Amino acid sequence: MSKKFDFIDRLVAFAGDVILFVEAMPEGKAGVYLFNQLMRSSGSAVLNFTEAQNADELFIAKSRIALKDLRESQVSFQILNHVEYGSEESREALEQENVELIKILVTIIKNRQAIV
């Protein structure tokens, strides 16, 4: 399997893990708002990066949108950490994966820009 598909698999797993994390949380106004945003941004990252694979001329633009989505997820995790909402262990693991995905995507974008 090539690296781009390994990364997509990792993005899919991250979005799925976010869904499982969110489903385990109690429902409250703040939680619903943050969790909906977190599910949208994590899912959107994988959708945009997957779409980038099929659009050479738009690869960097679509990848940057995916990066924006991951950064939004990062802020959501920071807010959840601040209010100590949800399982600390799950939150920290998801946040760490999010940080790693951001670093990987930044590298992918930089490498692609160097080629263009």
pLDDT in tens, 44-98: 999 999 999 887 789 999 999 999 999 999 999 999 999 888 889 999 999 999 9
pLDDT at 1: 44
pLDDT at 3: 55
pLDDT at 56: 78
Whole-structure pTM value:
0.90
Number of C-beta neighbours around residue 14 at 10 A: 21
**Domain segments of the chain: what residues?**
3-115
Q: Which CATH class is domain 3-115?
A: mainly alpha
Residue 52, sorted as left (phi over 0), alpha (psi -120 to 50) or beta, turns out to be alpha
Count Cβ atoms within 10 A of the Cβ of residue 34 and give its class: 0-12 exposed, 13-18 middle, 19 or more buried.
Answer: buried
pLDDT in tens, 14-24: 999 999 999 88
Angle at 78 between CA 13 and CA 22, to 5 degrees: 45
pLDDT at 90: 94
